[in-house]
Structure formats: C-alpha cells, structure tokens
Amino acid sequence: MKRRDFLVQGAAGVSALTAAGSLSQSARADDDAAAAGKHSFKLRYAPHFGMFDDLAGRDPIDQLKFAAEQGFTAWEDNGMRGRPKELQEKIARTMSDLGMLMGVFVAHGSFGETTFAGRNKDARERVLQEIRDSVEVAKRVNAKWMTVVPDAYDRRTEWGYQTANCVELLRRAAEILEPHGLVMVLEPLNWWRDHPGLFLHKIPQAYEICRAVDSPACKILFDIYHQQIQEGNLIPNIDMAWDEIGYFQCGDNPGRNEPGTGEINYRNVFRHIHSKGFEGIMGMEHGLSVGGEDGERKLIEAYVSADDF
C-alpha cells in the first residue's frame, strides 16, 4: 500500500502554480496526520485483539478505533468463528466505518489429527463442514481470507500418498469457496520450535500443493516467523512462491515479538514485499516484548521503524 494516494487531475493550460498549490495542500495533510499521531504505513499491517489492552482498554470496538487512529488499516482475528454473531456484526460495522480491511480468521486447525494427509472419511467431512460454516462467518465480517492448517502427518504413510490426500480434500474445499470469492490460505508451521509433526511445514511444499489444487480459492499464508525458523532464505522463497502467496504474517525470531526484537531484518523484508506490488495484509501474529502501555507504544514504533523505507 502506498503511503498516500495522490490523484493527479489536470488538463491543458493548468499552471505550475496550481500544481505547486496541490503539493502544498498534500504536505499540510501529512503534517496534520503526524500531529494527530496517525501514521501512514506503506503496507496493511493488521493487529489483533489484545494488542492494545492497556492503551485502548479491553473493549474490542475501542481497540479497533484506537488502531485506526494510529494508522493501521487492517485487522485479523484467529478466533472470529467462535465469537457471538452479534459481536461479529458489530466488529464488521465498526471496521467498515473506519475503512479497515478484515484479515484472516481460522477456518480449520486440529493439530493432533491426521485429517488432510489421511483418508478418514468422517474427519474429512468435518473439515468440509467447517469450511461451509466459515463461508457464513466470512460474509458476516467482510473477510476474504481464512486460515487452514492441514494438521498432522501420518508416520506410517509415504509423503506422496499424504500429499495426494491433502490435494484432494483441498480441491473439495475450494469448490465450496470459489463461488463466494473466498480464499483459504494454507499456513506452513515450523517443526523446530513450535509445531513438530505437522504435515505442512515448508513454503516449497505449500507451493507444490497450491499448484496441484489449481484454484484461486487456495493460496499460501507465508508466516515470516515460522519460515525463518523452518528454512530461512526468506526473500528468495518469497520470490519463488510469489504467484501462490495470498497473505503474510510476521513476528521476529527468537521470541515471536514485534519487528526489531530478533534477527530478522524486517525493514528489508517489508521493502521487498512492497516493491513487488503487494496490496494485501501483513498480519501481526506475535506478542509484545514489553508489557503495559510502554510495550504497546514500543509495538507501534517498531512498525513505524520497519515501515520506514
């Protein structure tokens, strides 16, 4: 996302003085935004509920309003499916009024089961029902993307068979989503620190699966934190998988906190993603390195700094 959309309208005979005046007005608008504490981010960074408990209070609507005041233009909520319908609708109305874009919620994730990689008919039907239910949630909250984790791998079955099973189930899920213009984003999760034993854990693997599913409703969720741990080589892997990436999430490593607290050069990574014309969402799926109001201010400033390219 560009820092500001300049709409240049003109016709023959428009003087240089007029153009200079337009630039002057834009500069004053930037100054006004800075004075109000609102930042103009180049990417759509998406906080989640709980990130601004101290500065905004625990009310979810107040947190949305606070985030918008800081310049954040997106939001995500893994637990949206489990929230009361009335709250979902209130969140959607508030975000619409604030001009914020809804990011992912979790449509499926059952880490202990072998659902996608296996052939258990009942387990696979449960997945498809969760996808159907998620369509209604997505419509209610104006969401386009939903996270799908393909669960555990089968220690007694060759990877090729498991991959074929996964592709087949994802194709059936895509058939449900395609008519609604919705997208499930598959999230590879690292084995070495957080989620040993899950089937989907690498970006090249996710790329292969998305290519095989061959649907606009099935893309990759590239979580930069997880992939720094699992395989590194972030920017080259982003480039190699670009056509199948639908969504990003971030968090520094080690610690899984805000950019600048670990080893990842987020300014360079964000610059690269922006340079490729990415207009989607960068989910802030991480914690805070410092608690309280100071930690929440530090979080905001971390994104201001990482976005300064």
pLDDT at 17: 28
Tell me the pLDDT tens digit for each residue of 178-226: 999 999 999 999 999 999 999 999 999 999 999 999 999 999 999 999 9
In this structure, is residue 137 part of a structural domain?
yes
In this structure, is residue 287 part of a structural domain?
yes
Query: Which residue of the set 76, 130, 187, 244 is catalytic?
Result: 187
Asked about 285 being catalytic, the answer comes back as yes
In the numeric block, which tokens belong to residue 154? 């089968």
In the numeric block, which tokens belong to residue 113? 């089961």
In this structure, is residue 12 part of a structural domain?
no
Query: Over 50: is that where the pLDDT of 29 sits?
Result: no
CATH of the domain at 59: 3.20.20.150
Question: Is-contact 246 206, C-beta < 8 A?
Answer: no
In this structure, is residue 142 part of a structural domain?
yes
Average pLDDT over residues 51-80: 98
In this structure, is residue 161 part of a structural domain?
yes
In this structure, is residue 196 part of a structural domain?
yes
pLDDT at 164: 98
State how many domains the chain has: 1
Query: Which residue of the set 130, 244, 258, 285 is catalytic?
Result: 285
pLDDT at 13: 35
- Which stretches does DSSP call E strand in the chain? 44-46, 74-75, 101-102, 106-108, 145-148, 183-186, 218-223, 245-249, 281-283
Of 177, 264, 179, 251, which is closest to residue 219 (Cα–Cα)?
177
In this structure, is residue 5 part of a structural domain?
no
**Which is more confidently placed, 29 or 308?**
308
**C-alpha pair distances (Å), 198 with each of 5, 68, 96, 173, 231:** 42, 36, 36, 20, 15
Range of the domain at 247: 41-306
Asked about 76 being catalytic, the answer comes back as no
Share of the chain above pLDDT 90, in %: 87
Query: Over 70: is that where the pLDDT of 276 sits?
Result: yes
In this structure, is residue 105 part of a structural domain?
yes
Identify the band that residue 37 occupies on the pLDDT scale cut at 50, 70 and 90: confident
pLDDT at 117: 97
Which three-class secondary structure state does DSSP give residue 1? coil
